[in-house]
Amino acid sequence: MESEAAKAADHNTANAVTPASQSGIRSRPKNKPRLNHEDRILLLAMGSGAVPVLVSLIFLWTGNHDANTRWTLTFLLCVTWLGFAFAARGAVVRPLQTLSNMQSALREGDFSFRVRGAKSGDALGELMLEVNTLSEMLREQRLGAMEASALLTTVMTEIDVAVFAFDGERRLRLVNRAGERVMGQNAERLLGKNAEELDLLECLEGESARTLEKNFPGQSGRWGFRRSVFRQGGKPHYLLVLADLSRALREEERQAWQRLVRVLGHELNNSLAPICSIAGSLEDIMKREARAADWEDDLRRGLRVIHERSDALSRFMRDYSRLTRLPKPQVRPTELAPLVRTAAGLETRALIEIEPGPEITLNVDPDQLQQVLINLIRNAVDASLDSAGTVKVGWARNGSWISVFVQDEGPGIANPANLFVPFFTTKPAGSGIGLVLSRQIAEAHGGTLSLRNRTNARGCEAIIQLPSTN
């Protein structure tokens, strides 16, 4: 074992020597062999004891001693001298061999080895402690990397989006199970093919995120994809993620049709049912030979109801047309403070409290944004009238967004799921399109509209988020 360790140490020491052309050190002539580290230690140890031994031998051989004493003492001096020299060499070389073997194990990825004799308060012991600590740290890091790799592999396998990784030459290097389904082949047949063969070349060019219609061997439909760049081995690689949007779009379309049919059916039944009933009653009146004295009044009342319900149905269709034909915003720089104050001043049923924020100028369509504020303030006042609550309007900057809020002290939102359902309203004279139009306007400006119950007070809060221009 010691000879094998010495050979490993010799090999590592030889490998650690840097060529003179790289280190800038003048190379030695080839005819002068260079002593290794062990021989230098041995020579130094022997040199340190050479003078005392030589002096002792001089005194021994010049003194009045017999031959047996001289040869015996000479032998003992030389053996002791050489023994201590080789012991000093071993004390220096053996720890280095141990550390060399430890480093070899670390290089090979075996982090289970530990150096014996590591203790604090000693220079060599401190070095061994550090090597043991490094080995333990590398073991934990490798274990964490293996666990993370296993988790990533599981996620890549089970995720329901197709993932492809291409190298710099646009050849496929990685594909998950969803990608295999899309391509209709297993990974063994796909890996190594270029993007053009896989019909993914256009996904690696142009915008990094967009949607497209694509027919693949295993699946076709509408796809959303994102492309990103990462480096492996110092070279750029491309990660392509494809998500099938067809199923989600079909589900959204189905739900949209269901909501539309439900709303249209509700409104049409509300108007057509009384019209049909009254029309049938009027027809019975006209068929009678002996009519009541006030039959003309019944006829007028029936025709009036038919006219009112027909007019309501006409208004419903007109409101529905407004939802589908919202004009594109005509944006221009607009100061937010005057816009909020003007919208609050149009409400005469209650005094609106304004909490002023910073001076802000937005690129918005002032007419459309003011209509949103008017709708939200009107709803807040309607909710607060019965409880005699107050309505507050204000704005603030939140990073790169501007938040405009309208708060009331009403009963709050009872059914949040129906807030933005067209023509759904809890007001007797409401149309049910105000919030829908308001959200459409906010989204057309690149923002959002949300309503929620207040957590620190009674009532509801409407928040408009708009992107900041500065």
For the segment 183-207, the average pLDDT, to the nearest whole number, is 87
| Cα distance between residue 124 and residue 91, in whole Å | 11
- The neighbouring-strand residues paired with 254 are none
Residue 10: the pLDDT is 44
Residue 405 pLDDT exceeds 90 = yes
| Cα distance between residue 192 and residue 171, in whole Å | 5
In residues, how long is the chain? 470
Residue 312 pLDDT exceeds 70 = no
Q: What is the dihedral of CA 157, 161, 162, 166, to 10 degrees?
A: -90
| Residue 144 falls inside a structural domain | no
- Are 192 and 279 in the same domain? no
Average pLDDT over all residues of the chain: 78
Answer with the one of 244, 266, 300 that is the final residue of a domain: 244
| Cα distance between residue 374 and residue 364, in whole Å | 16
Contact status, residue 85 vs residue 52, Cβ threshold 8 Å: no
- Are 311 and 345 in the same domain? no
| Residue 185 falls inside a structural domain | yes
Please tell me the total count of domains within the chain.
4
Residue 17 pLDDT exceeds 50 = no
Contact status, residue 132 vs residue 118, Cβ threshold 8 Å: yes
Answer with the one of 180, 215, 244 that is the final residue of a domain: 244
Contact status, residue 463 vs residue 383, Cβ threshold 8 Å: no
| Residue 94 falls inside a structural domain | yes
| Residue 150 falls inside a structural domain | no
- Are 449 and 385 in the same domain? yes
- The CATH number linked to 211 is 3.30.450.20
Residue type, 46: M
| Cα distance between residue 130 and residue 118, in whole Å | 9
- Are 351 and 397 in the same domain? yes
- Reported as a single tens digit per residue, the pLDDT across 31-83 is 556 778 788 888 888 888 888 888 888 888 888 878 888 888 889 988 988 88
| Residue 90 falls inside a structural domain | yes
Residue 263: the pLDDT is 63
Nearest alpha-carbon partner for 406 in 352, 453, 463 = 463
- Are 452 and 377 in the same domain? yes
- Are 358 and 434 in the same domain? yes
| Residue 290 falls inside a structural domain | yes
Domain with 89, as residue range(s), is 2-16+35-107
- Are 386 and 311 in the same domain? no
- Reported as a single tens digit per residue, the pLDDT across 138-191 is 888 888 888 887 887 788 777 888 899 999 888 998 888 888 888 888 888 889
- Reported as a single tens digit per residue, the pLDDT across 428-470 is 444 456 777 788 888 888 899 888 888 888 888 999 999 887 6
Contact status, residue 340 vs residue 373, Cβ threshold 8 Å: yes
For the segment 304-323, the average pLDDT, to the nearest whole number, is 70
Tell me the three-class secondary structure of 52-99, residue by residue. HHHHHHHHHHHCCCCHHHHHHHHHHHHHHHHHHHHHHHHHHHHHHHHH
For the segment 377-397, the average pLDDT, to the nearest whole number, is 85
| Residue 23 falls inside a structural domain | no
- The neighbouring-strand residues paired with 171 are 194
- Are 339 and 389 in the same domain? yes
- Are 386 and 441 in the same domain? yes
Coil, strand or helix at 282: helix
Is the pTM for the entire model greater than 0.75? no
- Are 389 and 427 in the same domain? yes
Answer with the one of 324, 349, 367 that is the final residue of a domain: 324
- Are 461 and 346 in the same domain? yes
| Residue 100 falls inside a structural domain | yes
- Are 287 and 355 in the same domain? no
Residue 8: the pLDDT is 41
